[in-house]
Chain A
Amino acid sequence: GAVVSQHPSRVICKSGTSVKIECRSLDFQATTMFWYRQFPKQSLMLMATSNEGSKATYEQGVEKDKFLINHASLTLSTLTVTSAHPEDSSFYICSASPWGAGGTINEQFFGPGTRLTVL
């Protein structure tokens, strides 16, 4: 149980285009989802916390107009990188915290990540 999927697993796009990444909790409801960014050989940096039905909370230094987050249901959150540029190329990882049975409070289950390459 407690599986999180991401789609797509990798995407290549041209500079200036927008890219949407989906994060789904497959077998549990997630009131909270998190989006991370990971540069090569570096740690995960939290970008934002997404709560179902409310606006995302962004970490300091993360442009909310650049990285649009929508958490419309208890099983889906999306991250849209708007007007992507080469410096946005990175590995984006989502995680989800379940509510109730199937997970412990504060435990996060991670998706496999999405590799974004902006040409």
Chain B
Amino acid sequence: AQRVTQPEKLLSVFKGAPVELKCNYSYSGSPELFWYVQYSRQRLQLLLRHISRESIKGFTADLNKGETSFHLKKPFAQEEDSAMYYCALSPFSGGYNKLIFGAGTRLAVHP
């Protein structure tokens, strides 16, 4: 079964603290993994995807196939990072395919 698990509903940190939002997946093939972010009163938008290997807004995520994880990390959280973060899996690489979302983690960064 295809599944994305985000174990934390809420992650609360202080500004400047490191952040790690956990994501584990279950899929027998080679998935594409994504992190989407939803800021308050805004639509869902792509933050990063594993094949890009980019750092966006200071966030990075490494696909660990052995642990089937794709944790999102940032060394120093900022207040503007407060948002809802969704990890998502696309079952096939290439082409257009559906996204399976995790339950989401709300990140709250306090001053």
Binding site for B on A (CB under 8 A): 31-32, 34, 42-46, 49, 93, 95, 97, 104-108, 110-113
Can you list 24 pairs linking A and B with CB atoms under 8 Å apart?
A31-B96, A32-B96, A34-B98, A34-B99, A42-B103, A43-B101, A43-B103, A44-B86, A44-B101, A46-B101, A49-B98, A93-B43, A95-B44, A104-B49, A105-B94, A105-B95, A105-B96, A106-B32, A106-B94, A106-B97, A108-B46, A108-B99, A110-B45, A113-B43
A contact residues around B49 at 8 Å (CB): 104, 106-107
Q: Is the interface of B mostly helix, strand, loop or mixed?
A: loop
A contact residues around B46 at 8 Å (CB): 107-108
A contact residues around B44 at 8 Å (CB): 44, 93, 95, 110
Q: B96 contacts A46, CB within 8 Å?
A: no
Binding site for A on B (CB under 8 A): 32, 43-46, 49, 86, 90, 93-104
B contact residues around A46 at 8 Å (CB): 98-101
User: Bound complex: CA of A93 vs CA of B86, how far in Å?
Assistant: 15
**Distance (whole angstroms) from the CB of A112 to the closest CB of chain B:** 5
B contact residues around A111 at 8 Å (CB): 43
**Distance (whole angstroms) from the CB of A113 to the closest CB of chain B:** 7
User: Bound complex: CA of A45 vs CA of B101, how far in Å?
Assistant: 7
A-B pairs, top 3 by smallest CB distance, nearest first, are A110-B44, A32-B96, A97-B96
